[in-house]
Amino acid sequence: MEREAGWTADASTFGARLALIRQRMGWGNVKEAAMACGLPVETWRSWERDNREPHRLTAIGKQIAGATGCDYLWLVHGPDRGG
């Protein structure tokens, strides 16, 4: 029996990257993540669930990266980090 390749997380959208950050930080839900980053819960939820990007992407990205230690360029630009 041939084994399939393992799965990889899809980090192509801002919402997916937020979900990955939330999982990495051990936050069980959107409320914990938003509060830890000093952001409104419903706003975080719409970014993650509805795949919307913040109007002030660079400022929000810096805020989230500062609170979580994630790579700012990865968060804002995705896996290619703007390259």
Whole-prediction pTM value?
0.84
Q: Give per-residue pLDDT as tens, 28-50.
A: 999 999 999 999 999 999 999 98
pLDDT higher than threshold 60 for residue 24: yes
User: How far is residue 22 CA from its own chain's centroid?
Assistant: 7
Q: Which residues have CB under 8 Å from 20's CB, separation 6+? A: 9, 11
pLDDT, position 57: 95
